[in-house]
Amino acid sequence: MNSPYFPDFIPHERLGGTAGVEVWSGRDSTGSPAILKTFTLGRGWQQEYAALLSINKAPLTEVVIPRLLDTSETPPAILMSYLDGKNMESHRFPMPTWSIAIQQAGQFLAQLHAIPLSEADSLPLSKALPLRLESWIERGAKWLSPAEIRRARNKVGNGTVFEGHQRVYCHNDFAPRNWIWNPSGLGIIDFEHAYGNHPAFDWVKLEVGLFQKMPELREEFIASIGGTPLWATSEVLDAIVAIHAIGCIVWGSQHGDKSYIYEGRRILDE
């Protein structure tokens, strides 16, 4: 694969990419380590750029996020600072490290969700989320079984379970795969999916992943965000999990990613 061109960036290594997004490590014009993220046309560039602008202005504690160094709208690309450390999904860590990380992650999430939304969808979540499920079902009709569709619809219902809930600024891919551990502070990366959403979408990957492996971290996480939110009932979490699971199956099928398909079906079967 050809390395990307970006002014004042010297690419060294392709770190990965999926669904049109490519991530490269290299050096900026000062010789400092930097990351270049390139995008296809769409919301990814806009959302990551807006998130880095907004979050870098917020009074974050403990947690570190990439600094925005430069950007290009055509072609869509973002040059950002490199976060030193180890990815928490792909490395092993002792429980005391996980304890510190989950507390810092929760504090960050509380701060992120408090950032005012520049634009808010006027459609109430009680109507928007059932429609989102139906959109996934329509896109994935040839991959979803009738039983999977029925199970998800039963969990979401007519949306009244979300009555009165408000959108907050969400990361929307909040999980250890996007956490970088460094003893000086937890790093959070990958904001291409960040937008106003139901706050449970920043819990869902923890509920079906990390908290199943290490359930003791769940209470520490809840304490770090200031206690259990009023919206966080089992019915709400089950409904969000169902939407997430259907989305995993459909997205994985569209992009040929079997790990997403398997994960979605595992979650939906539980």
- CB-based contacts of 11, cutoff 8 Å, min separation 6: 3, 4, 24, 25, 26, 36
Identify the burial level of 128 via C-beta atoms within 10 angstroms of its C-beta, where 0-12 means exposed, 13-18 middle and 19 or more buried.
Answer: middle
Residue 114 shares a structural domain with residue 239: yes
Contact status, residue 143 vs residue 253, Cβ threshold 8 Å: yes
Mean pLDDT across the chain: 94
Q: Which of 200, 118, 204 is nearest to 161 (CA)?
A: 200
Peptide bond into 75 cis (omega under 30): yes
For the chain, how many structural domains are there in total?
2
Residue 2 lies in a domain: no
Its pTM stands at 0.94
Looking at residue 137, its pLDDT comes to: 98
Looking at residue 1, its pLDDT comes to: 60
Identify the burial level of 98 via C-beta atoms within 10 angstroms of its C-beta, where 0-12 means exposed, 13-18 middle and 19 or more buried.
Answer: buried
Residue 199 shares a structural domain with residue 247: yes
Among 81, 114, 142, the domain boundary falls at: 81
Strand locations in the chain (E) = 10-18, 21-27, 33-38, 68-72, 77-81, 86-87, 168-170, 179-181, 187-188, 195-197
Among 29, 63, 81, the domain boundary falls at: 81
Residues 229-256 have pLDDT tens digits of 999 999 999 999 999 999 999 999 999 9
Looking at residue 11, its pLDDT comes to: 94
Looking at residue 169, its pLDDT comes to: 96
Residues 90-146 have pLDDT tens digits of 999 999 999 999 999 999 999 999 999 987 778 999 999 999 999 999 999 999 999
Residue 148 shares a structural domain with residue 191: yes
Domain of residue 32, residue span? 10-81
**Distance from C-alpha of 244 to C-alpha of 240, rounded to nearest angstrom:** 6
Residue 4 lies in a domain: no
Residues 39-95 have pLDDT tens digits of 987 789 999 999 999 988 877 777 899 999 999 998 999 999 999 999 999 999 999
Looking at residue 17, its pLDDT comes to: 79
Beta bridge partners of 64: 187
Looking at residue 223, its pLDDT comes to: 97
Residue 174 shares a structural domain with residue 242: yes
- Measured in Å, how far apart are the chain's first and last C-alpha atoms? 40
Residue 262 lies in a domain: yes
Residue 257 shares a structural domain with residue 212: yes
Q: Which CATH number do you get for residue 226? A: 3.90.1200.10
